Amino acid sequence: MKIRTILPAICVALAFTLGGHAFAHDGQAETVIPKFDQAIGNIPGKSFRVVEVDYAPGAASPAHSHAKSAFIYAYVLAGAIESKVNDGQTRIYKVGDSWFEPPGAVHSVSRNASKTKPARLLAVFVVDADETTLTTPIK
């Protein structure tokens, strides 16, 4: 089975299984909640990490990059997320939409597309097991 066909199913299953959320209340940034961290047994040195990112209405993340080893799959659980990765277009993703970020990608836009409703996404990382910093702000 191809990874493209199983990742959406994994994300949806994790979202329902792991549950819970806490929205940021200051409207300035996101709230990141670790949900899952597991070594991948058949890929030595790699881990599978999942975080839930909650955005209050109008909230945004500062421009950032992710771990150089990280393959990232993002899946919108609630609301709408405006996102721009590398030199791609700025897009708005709605519930059920997803995107991929390659290792070393620059995420210049990541925000709630709504000023009135919260938004939430699940970010799935396949990353080097010894990687401790998943996100680094760009200055």
Strands 30-39, 106-112: pairing kind: unpaired
**pLDDT exceeds cutoff 80 at 134:** yes
d(CA 18, CA 36): 8
What average pLDDT score do residues 117-124 get? 96
For residue 38, what are the β-bridge partners?
48
* Total-model pTM: 0.78
Interatomic CA distance for residues 108 and 110, integer angstroms: 7
Residues whose CB is less than 8 angstroms from the CB of residue 77 and which lie 6 or more positions away in sequence, other chains included: 15, 52, 95, 120, 121, 122
Question: Mind listing the pLDDT tens digit for each residue in 61-109?
Answer: 999 999 899 999 999 999 999 999 999 999 999 999 999 999 989 999 9
**Which pLDDT belongs to residue 28?**
58
Instruction: Indicate whether 15 pLDDT > 80.
Output: no
pLDDT digits (tens, 9 = 90+) for 29-59: 789 999 999 999 999 999 999 999 999 999 9
CA-to-CA distance for 53 and 123, rounded, in angstroms?
Answer: 7
Closest CA relative to residue 121, chosen from 96, 88, 86, 90 = 96
